[in-house]
Structure 1
Amino acid sequence: MQVTKKNQTIAICIMLLVVLLAGCGRSQAPSAVEKSQGYLSITDDTGRTVVLPHKPEKIVVLSTSFLDLLYAVGGKAIGRPGSKTGGIPSAAQDVAEIGYVYNVNLEKVVSLQPDLVIAFQGIHDKLIPALESNKIPVILVRIKSYQDVVEKLKLFSNIAGTMPKGEELARDIDVKVNDIVAKVPDKQLKVAIIHATAKSVTVELDNSITGSIAKQLKLHNVASGSRALESDPDATPYSLEKLVETNPDMIFVVTMGYGAEVEKRMKADLESSPAWSTLAAVQNKQVHILPEELFLLNPGLRYPDAVAYMAKIAYPEVFTHVK
């Protein structure tokens, strides 16, 4: 049978169509970012879909932990929170302040007329109605775990229009963190993570920033599996009795402001409490107050530094080279 050129063309087209349909039939992982509507369609960490009609030029961030990620991928902000602990990129030092992470000045935010507000899930949720009523697009994002850092680098680079830069930075962080984790010995150390402020004390769970880093380093959080507080899904109530019962090898302390004051108070408690003195961590001088800039809010691009810092405390015999 003679095959004409026309028939060959039809056959090729049919084959291509079959390949395309087969590809479309495969299941694909849901994406948080789509380019199909306007400039960008984003599904934030609460499941809200926010469509940006054009590339944002006037971004306000409500958490300092977003700044280094945003600026690293070539983005910039016109508004940011103030900080008592530093951590503001040099390029963002002169950016207008809009209060603090836990006390945002909403009027100031609105006055800046932003075309995008990046808010922290779990802290700024209640601000959404007011921002939306002022026709301000806002996304709620979570940056606590290592995976969150990688995902937000890619998200922010999508927003800034610099996706290759975000992917490059994500790969760099991945290499550094994996290099540390690969050296972790299997010692099965037990740790407790205490979150202390001038007003309250709680114990952090695995899904907290410090808890997720401890888990990566194969440290067993004695509070793992405990019931979370209604007001804070990352923490459980502090109980000295439970601490004595689980008897951790190490205690990590994360403070929020007034670090010296909290440290002084904790040392006084340690010295005056007979129960504290029975803990292995106390007897072996393994109570460590962690730096606020690495463990209070997500360290962002400094995530490998936070992992290395805790690794040196937990396994000093392995990580002697870490400063």
Structure 2
Amino acid sequence: MNQAHASLTVTDDTGAPVTLPAPATRVVSLAPHVTELLYAAGGGARIVGTVSYSDYPKEAQSIPRVGDNKALDLERIVALHPDLIVVWRHGNAARQTDKLKALGIPLFFSEPKHLADIPASIDKLGALLGTEDTARAASTAVTRDIAALRAQYAQLPPVRVFYQVWDDPLMTLNRDNVFSEVIGLCGGVNVFAAEAPRVPTVSTEAVLAANPEAIVTATPGATKPDRPLPALDRWKQWTSLTAVARGNLFGIDGDLINRPTPRLALGAAQLCRDLDLARKRR
């Protein structure tokens, strides 16, 4: 909006309208990815409260905490007098967010499900903050980076990929996740894309039957090629598995692939390089 005091309305990720009488100046972020999106949109200095693991950018580490993904300190949130609360739809307890909604504080539910939702989210938050120009520059950069990767890798010979979310129980992702879209962006094929749950539990036998050419997992930090990946060591006994036989066990910094933020483009670039390495090992 060009007029500083004009009311403004955007649609959140549930499809609900969010209306503010004026750009938000006191924002509470209830998820780490939301904090990153708010900074990208130009609103970092307006975040008055956030949750555990909101650690990027570095400045976010000094923002007061109001809970975590399991429980929120509702009294503390109210005491911060926010004029906007940005909620993680499936990460924050519905009962607590309902209580916040009952207080009349505007809530924006954030849950980007597709790559295109990331720049769209930045633009929407920029509209609510009155920082459209900053937001547009950030969203344009994300769109450009993703498009460049798509142009470079998406049409290359496909690589069958198993993405290991967790090792006990063994869990993966279906096609209804941003990272599954990243796999396709890189010319990969998610071997469990067709599973019904968004985060299905699978058996070792199912992975062996799918025989992926590459196995990928998230790590606590960026991994070097010579650094061990304990979460993937379980597969080394299956020497006939293509991913094991060719050494295609890859780890990527979890913050770059698990958060739907501009940094996902960095995680995508790493995955694309890894899958290209898998092609070269054929």
- When normalised by structure 2's length, the TM-score is 0.84
Aligned pairs (5 A) from 1:159-308: 159-184=128-153, 185-196=155-166, 200-228=169-197, 234-254=198-218, 263-264=229-230, 266-267=232-233, 269-271=234-236, 276-298=238-260, 300-308=261-269
Count, aligned residues: 269
* Separation (CA, whole Å) in 1 of partners of 2:177 and 2:71: 21
1:254: how far off?
Answer: 2.7
Paired letter, 1:251: I
Q: Report the identity percentage.
A: 20
CA distance in 1, matches of 2:68, 2:166: 19
Q: What is the CA–CA distance in structure 2 between the aligned matches of 1:168 and 1:111, rounded to whole Å?
A: 33
Q: Distance in 2 between matches of 1:149 and 1:187?
A: 27
How far 1:226 moved relative to its partner? 1.3
The structure with the larger Rg is 1
Task: Write the distance in 2 (CA, Å) between the matches of 1:183 and 1:134.
Answer: 49
Match of 1:25? none
Larger RCO, structures 1/2 (Cα 8 Å, 6+ apart): 2
Aligned counterpart, 1:54: 22
Q: How far 1:195 moved relative to its partner?
A: 0.5
165 and 180 in structure 1: CA distance in 2 versus 1, 3 angstrom threshold: same
Q: Structure 1 counterpart of 2:275, which letter?
A: A
- Aligned residues of 1:64 and 1:101 also touching (Cα < 8 A): no
The code of the aligned residue for 1:252 comes to V
CA RMSD of aligned residues (A): 2.8
Q: What is the SS of the residue equivalent to 1:114?
A: coil
SS at match of 1:78: strand
Distance (Å, rounded) in 2 between the aligned partners of 1:108 and 1:290: 35
Paired with 1:318 and 1:224, the residues of 2 have a C-alpha distance of 21
Aligned to 2:275: 314
- Letter paired with 2:87: A
Alpha-carbon distance in structure 1 between the residues aligned to 2:114 and 2:151 = 18
User: Displacement of 1:167 after TM fit?
Assistant: 1.9
Q: Which amino acid aligns with 1:227?
A: A
SS of residue in 1 equivalent to 2:175: coil
Q: CA separation in 2, counterparts of 1:317 and 1:289?
A: 13
Deviation at 1:98, TM superposition (A): 1.6
Aligned to 1:97: 65
- Unaligned stretches of 5+ in structure 1? 1-32, 229-233
Aligned to 2:31: 63
Which residues of structure 2 form unaligned runs of 5+?
Answer: none
Corresponding residue for 1:113? 81
Distance 2:201 2:87 in 1: 27
CA contact (8 A) 2:30 2:88 kept: yes
Which structure 1 residue ranges, 4+ long, deviate > 6 Å from structure 2? none
Alpha-carbon offset, residue 277 of structure 1: 3.3
- Provide the rounded CA distance (Å) in 2 between the counterparts of 1:43 and 1:125: 21
How has the CA–CA distance of structure 1 residues 209 and 255 changed in structure 2, closer, same or farther, with 3 Å as cutoff? farther
Match of 1:74 in 2: 42
Amino acid in the other structure paired with 2:115: Y
In 2: Cα distance, 1:98 partner to 1:182 partner: 42
